Structures are given as C-alpha cells and as structure tokens.
Structure 1
Amino acid sequence: MLQKYKYPPDQAQEAVELVLQQAEVLSNNWSQ
C-alpha cells in the first residue's frame, strides 16, 4: 500500500503509525 503512493523510506514508518492511530480511533468509535 505504501509503495502505491511512493512514500520515501524515512516517512514510511510514520505513515504506518498514522494509519494505525486512525484505525484505533475508528474502532473505538464503532465499539461505543
């Protein structure tokens, strides 16, 4: 997925963390 958007290697980890944070927020909203 990250390669599709051609993230630079130094930003790939940051992008992964951002996606995980967003997924956690969404799952918290869904569980309420």
Structure 2
Amino acid sequence: MQLRHLKTFVAVAATLNITRASERVHLAQSS
C-alpha cells in the first residue's frame, strides 16, 4: 500500500510539474 501511494504521489507531482512548465512556456510565448 505504501509503495502504491508513493507511486501515485510521484505521478501526481510529475503531472503538476508538467502543467506548471507548460503554463510557463505558454506565458513566455504569449509575452
């Protein structure tokens, strides 16, 4: 269970990082 939770947390964290990175790129392109 703990390993599954850890993998889920890592996956969510990676998704958030990708979203933030894409938002930064989009903001940089629009400006």
Whether TM exceeds 0.5 here: the answer is: yes
Task: Give the alignment's Cα RMSD to 1 decimal.
Answer: 0.8
Runs of 4+ in 1 over 2 A off after TM superposition: none
- TM-score, scaled relative to structure 2: 0.70
What runs of 5+ residues in structure 1 fail to find an aligned partner?
1-7
Pair member with larger Rg: 2
* TM-score calculated relative to the size of structure 1: 0.68
Mark the runs of 5 or more structure 2 residues left unpaired by the alignment: 1-6
* Aligned length in residues: 25
**Structure with the higher fraction of residues in helix conformation:** 2
